[in-house]
Amino acid sequence: MAARRRAGDDQLMTRQLIILTDPGQDQAAAILTILGRPDAFEVLGLVATAGNIGLDHTLGNCLKLLELAGRPDIPVFAGAPLPMRRDLVMAEHVHGPTGLDGPDLPTPAIRPQAQHGVDFIIETLRSRPEGSVTICGLSPLTNLALAFRIAPDIVPRVKEIVAMLGAYFELGNITPTAEFNCYVDPEAADVVLRSGLKITLLPLDVTHQMRSTRGRLDAFSALGNRSGRATDEMLTFSEAFDLKKYGWDGAPLHGPCVPAYMLAPEIFDGRTCAVEVELTGKLTQGMTVVDYWQITGKAHNAFWVRSGDANAYYRLITEAIGNLP
């Protein structure tokens, strides 16, 4: 069966989003892409989690990004400080000690909300019309899985989940077999993948094709706005690790694949298939096992994006960030 784009996703509509995030420079670029397209996205709130760095930093990084983009009106919530059942694994070696090293972003004046992020997810899904809220997953899925466990009535109220998670053909980036977001909290990923919801996954299989060459990074600064310059500075910092690791002409740019898919699904290819998470493997803990070739006959539970048009991708996110201050 040839790879195909998901049918019916070709017409852009304004989406109400809850963003799950632990920024992280690539997630910063994803958030700025979303904020640069208010015609396409209504952001209901950002829920910070521990992941790339500890919760104190990821929470502050969310606030910094909203101020950078001129959107202090969007609420930010602190979520879980730890995965559901495991010790926290972080990625300071990639993102630096603050998680957002690179640009000199000022201490934010805006403050996070007092409400816990999990409670915000539950309350929002209960109060909005059923099928109106999309979950934008940029981080480990801890907060969403906790919300589903605490309030199972909210599960069918979700419109869909679009998440950067997993790897199969590209294998792992934190272990030989596991992608970081899934490895940090595989139990959370398992809960979400068993939810029965419409799920689209943007794994390393596609994000590794979206390489931030020097020319693509320079294009952000050439926009002439503060958000573009900050994006260049952030990604220039974080790419150093991956350039050394892979020896490619540019580092993978993971996070923006999520909003890019929602904005332009036609530039991506993949197929619906069965996806499971390994929870106990000695060598494969946190691995996403993908029945891409339809071997097992198991029920399909996710649309797995395998490839995309990198030039169209960078045009899209650069244009979006160009709309910001």
CB 292 within 8 A of CB 65: no
> How do beta strands 133-137 and 158-163 pair?
parallel
| Start-to-end Cα distance in the chain | 45
Task: Please confirm, yes or no, whether 254 is among the known catalytic residues.
Answer: yes
CB 27 within 8 A of CB 138: yes
CB 275 within 8 A of CB 201: yes
The active-site residue out of 57, 95, 208, 254 is 254
CB 220 within 8 A of CB 232: yes
Helix (H, G, I), strand (E, B) or coil at 25: helix
State the Cα–Cα distance between residues 184 and 38, nearest whole angstrom. 31
How many alpha carbons fall within 13 Å on the CB side of residue 71?
23
Report the candidate in 209, 321, 219, 313 with the shortest Cα–Cα distance to residue 261: 313
Report the candidate in 144, 67, 147 with the shortest Cα–Cα distance to residue 110: 67
Residues near 241 by Cβ (< 8 Å), separated by ≥ 6? 93, 94, 251
> C-alpha distances in angstroms, 164 versus 43, 53, 199, 237?
18, 17, 11, 21
State the Cα–Cα distance between residues 149 and 300, nearest whole angstrom. 22
| Catalytic residue annotation | 254
